């Protein structure tokens, strides 16, 4: 009995036991639909030591269904994808209202994604996430800052998952990019 | 071979001085501290006596002045029918003298610091109280220091401790009962209470439990309190311990019973309510604002101390969504080079903190602060820089440890609960933490001390029951005693 207790105690100190040494912190998800294929893009930040800083990665996968496309993305890395701090879901113009419902259902059922995740529309979600971030380490953070800035000006945009989930035809803000950054096309 | 005093019960001295001295020499054959002083009176021919005492236990000056000198100079009338009685009444200058013939009683007196006077031809001896063993002296208890209020603390001599208590409670209502415990140590245990205030059932229960204790030696109060506890394996105490006479007096005034053990300054009080863990005697010596602040801070620190490391582990490993993104990134980047898991790192840090704390307590006073600086600051800083531990974990464990120091009465409970909560959090996250907290709450509510619910003062909703638990109200509003007394009214209408 004593030996078992000591062994159990020692396992707590083993390297990597119960811990995620280098996680991919997903900051934004992009979903496009074209020619009967879903294209899902995960923008993630890899957190290294303080000296090494943060590194931005973009993982893309395709599939006939949303889930298959997400699985393709997950296959690209052995590291766990941490979805708890993902703030934005960008959907491309090919995403219909019906497909948007499917994406929202996925986000609601995925236990790590919070209900305050924001949805937005863009020409091409993958292209949006590929652009170089302007004010932070990732496009996802830049977009979140953009929404926060609107909120501070008392123009809070109601595009969070819990705000649009029950709506039959939610109206999403459209984001465009130019040389100076991102802007709302119309809302 | 006789081992305890009971073995000498109903054995009597013979009256033959030489024979009796030989008996005592035989009993103390392995004890070099027994002294035998033979006395022959100058003026009374044929009067021979001997004084037996333990070296170091008696006041030799008093022994000489009160016993030896009068005997040497005495002139015994030839017609005195009872020489022992005559010596007792006419010659000895000692305050307390007992005439005894039972060997066990005489031996008991000698061992306790009395001098036994054996007179040739007399079948009874005189036990003269000339106790004179050195004691530590009255000083402020190290672990119950206060800024304001009485500074005296109990010491090791039981009778002196009782005198200190008597000075605080000058009432004939103060009852002191004595019993002996420990078949070999023969330790005197005193039960003190205010007769008109206590619940007699509690007293009866206590006496019953004390009588059942079968142990060869009682060297500290804990030898007794552990054996009379209704929850012997509980992390929470069911009897209070203090070294301060003012605290014992206050407890007796609330209708509690105190247990003094000769040889230790620690005094136990029962019944013990859970809220007493969060009380300090200083709460009553400062303004009620400060007393209440201290009380609330202690409750807060109890929660903080046991939950903080567990909360940190639960959130960083299983519920990172609770953390703001920037803070999560900071924690992750600081932890990325640390080779241990967050659970292992936190458990290790808690153990190291306990080691440092324990070492600091045991170290000589002049080394303790240096050790704290080297251990806490230098090693901590070096370990963070060497990436053996991460700064957030160090901060969390240090905060939890410092908060725990506010509750010296719950030291063991805080340490073990901290680890239990941590393990629950590591496996089940916040569900484990809250589940553990609910179970702890249920356990605390189920605690009892000598038939009284330990959360008696917290589970009632009227103002008077809470006056001295979560907060300390001004003295003019403290109108009742805790609910286990027969006389509840403390002030005002009787």
Q: pLDDT band at residue B131, thresholds of 50, 70 and 90?
A: confident
pLDDT value of residue B461: 65
- Interface probe, candidates B309, B317, B318, B320, chain A, greatest A C-beta count within 10 A: B320
Taking the CA atoms of residue A123, residue A127, residue A130 and residue A135 in that order, the dihedral angle to the nearest 10 degrees is -20
Q: Per-residue pLDDT tens for B408-449?
A: 889 899 999 999 999 999 999 999 999 999 999 999 988 888
* Å between A139 CA and nearest CA of chain B: 14
- Interface probe, candidates A10, A16, A18, chain B, greatest B C-beta count within 10 A: A18
Residue with tokens 């109060």: B221
pLDDT of A142 strictly over 70: yes
Q: Strand runs (DSSP E) across B308-393, as ranges?
A: none
* Å between B433 CA and nearest CA of chain A: 17
* Å between B174 CA and nearest CA of chain A: 51
pLDDT value of residue A21: 52
Q: pLDDT band at residue A88, thresholds of 50, 70 and 90?
A: very high
pLDDT value of residue A14: 56
- Report the pLDDT averaged over residues B199-220: 91
Domain ranges of chain A: 21-184
According to the 3-state scheme, what is the secondary structure of B110-142? HHCCCEEEEECCCCCEEEECCECCCCCCCCCCH
The reply to whether residue A13 touches residue B317, judged by beta carbons under 8 angstroms, is no
Is A81 in CB contact (< 8 Å) with chain B? no
Q: Report the first-to-last Cα separation within chain B, whole angstroms.
A: 60
- Interface probe, candidates A7, A26, A27, A49, chain B, greatest B C-beta count within 10 A: A49
Of B478 and A92, the one with more pLDDT: A92
pLDDT of A19 strictly over 60: no
pLDDT value of residue B493: 53
Beta bridge partners of A60: A41
B336 contacts in A (CB within 8 Å)? 21-22, 47-49
Is A96 in CB contact (< 8 Å) with chain B? no
A112 contacts in B (CB within 8 Å)? 321
pLDDT of B95 strictly over 60: yes
The closest of B478, B448, B464 to B273, measured between CA atoms, is B448
B320, B343, B347 ranked by CB distance to A84: nearest: B320
Q: pLDDT band at residue A15, thresholds of 50, 70 and 90?
A: very low
Q: Quick one: closest CA in A to B348, which residue?
A: A13
Q: pLDDT band at residue B1, thresholds of 50, 70 and 90?
A: very low
Is A48 in CB contact (< 8 Å) with chain B? yes
Of A50 and B428, the one with more pLDDT: B428
- Report the pLDDT averaged over residues B54-83: 80
> CA-to-CA distance for B410 and B463, rounded, in angstroms?
26
DSSP B92: -
pLDDT value of residue B70: 83
Q: Quick one: closest CA in A to B327, which residue?
A: A85
> CA-to-CA distance for A82 and B315, rounded, in angstroms?
13
Is B334 in CB contact (< 8 Å) with chain A? yes
Is A13 in CB contact (< 8 Å) with chain B? yes
| Helix, strand, or coil (residue A39) | strand
The reply to whether residue A15 touches residue B426, judged by beta carbons under 8 angstroms, is no
Of A24 and B91, the one with more pLDDT: A24
The reply to whether residue A16 touches residue B343, judged by beta carbons under 8 angstroms, is no
Q: For B91, phi and psi rounded to 5 degrees?
A: -110, -40
Of B58 and B363, the one with more pLDDT: B58
The reply to whether residue B317 touches residue A19, judged by beta carbons under 8 angstroms, is yes
Q: How far is CA B473 from the centre of its chain?
A: 28
Average pLDDT, chain A: 84
Q: pLDDT band at residue A20, thresholds of 50, 70 and 90?
A: very low
pLDDT value of residue A12: 61
Is B398 in CB contact (< 8 Å) with chain A? no
> CA-to-CA distance for B242 and B267, rounded, in angstroms?
5
The closest of B67, B214, B197 to B129, measured between CA atoms, is B67
User: How many other CB atoms are there within 10 angstroms of residue B239's CB atom?
Assistant: 25
Length of chain B: 494
Q: Per-residue pLDDT tens for B367-380?
A: 777 777 777 778 88
Interface of B with A in 409-448 (CB under 8 A): 426
A48 contacts in B (CB within 8 Å)? 333, 336
The reply to whether residue B343 touches residue A22, judged by beta carbons under 8 angstroms, is no
């Amino acid at each position: 009995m004593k030996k078992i207790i000591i062994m159990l105690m020692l396992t707590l100190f083993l390297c990597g036991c119960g811990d995620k040494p280098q996680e991919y912190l997903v900051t934004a998800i992009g979903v496009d639909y074209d020619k009967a294929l879903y294209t899902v893009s995960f923008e993630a930040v890899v957190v290294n030591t303080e000296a090494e800083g943060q590194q931005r990665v973009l993982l893309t996968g395709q599939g006939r269904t949303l889930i298959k496309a997400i699985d393709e993305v997950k296959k690209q890395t052995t590291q766990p994808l941490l979805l708890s701090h993902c703030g934005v879901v960008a959907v491309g113009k090919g995403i219909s209202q019906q497909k948007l419902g499917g994406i929202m259902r996925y986000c609601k059922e995925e236990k790590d994604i919070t209900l305050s995740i924001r949805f937005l529309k863009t020409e091409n979600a993958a292209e949006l996430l590929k652009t170089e971030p302007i004010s932070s380490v990732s496009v996802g953070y830049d977009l979140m800052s953009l929404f926060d800035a609107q909120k501070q000006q008392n123009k809070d945009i109601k595009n969070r998952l819990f705000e649009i989930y029950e709506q039959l035809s939610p109206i999403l803000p459209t984001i465009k990019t130019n040389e100076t950054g991102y802007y709302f096309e119309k809302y | 071979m006789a081992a305890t005093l009971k073995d000498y019960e109903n054995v009597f001295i013979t009256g033959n001085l030489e024979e009796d001295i030989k008996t005592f020499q035989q009993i103390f054959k392995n004890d070099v501290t027994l002294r035998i002083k033979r006395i022959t009176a100058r003026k009374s021919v044929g009067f021979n006596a001997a004084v037996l005492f333990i070296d170091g236990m008696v006041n030799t000056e008093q022994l000489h002045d009160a016993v030896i000198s009068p005997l040497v100079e005495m002139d015994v009338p030839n017609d005195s029918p009872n020489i022992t009685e005559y010596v007792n009444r006419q010659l000895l200058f000692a305050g307390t003298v007992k005439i005894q013939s039972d060997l066990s009683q005489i031996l008991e007196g000698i061992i306790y610091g009395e001098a036994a006077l054996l007179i040739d031809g007399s079948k009874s001896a005189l036990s003269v109280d000339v106790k004179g063993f050195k004691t530590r002296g009255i000083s402020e208890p190290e672990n119950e220091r206060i800024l304001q209020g009485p500074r005296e603390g109990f010491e090791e001599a039981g009778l002196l401790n009782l005198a200190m208590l008597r000075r605080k409670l000058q009432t004939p209502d103060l009852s002191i009962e004595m019993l002996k415990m420990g078949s070999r140590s023969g330790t005197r245990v005193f039960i003190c209470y205010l007769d008109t205030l206590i619940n007699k059932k509690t007293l009866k229960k206590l006496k019953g439990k004390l009588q059942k204790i079968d142990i060869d030696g009682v060297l500290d109060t804990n030898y007794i309190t552990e054996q009379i506890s209704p929850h012997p394996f509980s992390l929470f105490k069911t009897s209070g311990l203090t070294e301060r006479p003012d605290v014992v007096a206050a407890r007796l005034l609330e209708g509690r019973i105190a247990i003094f053990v000769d040889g230790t300054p620690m005094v136990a009080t029962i019944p013990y309510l859970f809220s007493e863990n969060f009380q300090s005697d200083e709460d009553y010596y400062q303004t009620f604002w400060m007393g209440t602040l201290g009380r609330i801070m202690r409750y807060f620190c109890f929660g903080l101390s046991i939950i903080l490391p567990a909360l940190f582990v639960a959130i960083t490993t299983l519920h990172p969504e609770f953390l703001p993104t920037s803070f999560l990134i900071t924690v992750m980047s600081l932890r990325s080079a640390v080779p241990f898991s967050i659970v292992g790192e936190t458990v290790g840090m808690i153990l190291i903190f306990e080691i440092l704390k324990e070492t600091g307590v045991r170290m000589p006073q002049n080394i303790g602060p240096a050790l704290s600086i080297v251990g806490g600051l230098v090693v901590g800083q070096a370990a963070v820089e060497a990436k053996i531990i991460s700064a957030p974990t160090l901060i969390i464990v240090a905060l939890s440890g410092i908060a725990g120091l506010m509750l010296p009465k719950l030291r063991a409970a805080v340490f073990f609960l901290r680890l239990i909560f941590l393990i629950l959090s590591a496996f089940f996250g916040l569900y484990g933490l809250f589940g553990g907290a609910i179970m702890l709450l249920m356990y605390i509510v189920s605690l009892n001390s000598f038939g009284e619910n330990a959360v008696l003062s917290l589970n009632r909703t009227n103002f008077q029951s809470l006056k001295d638990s979560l907060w300390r109200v001004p003295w003019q509003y403290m109108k009742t005693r805790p609910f286990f007394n027969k006389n509840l009214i403390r002030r005002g209408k009787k």
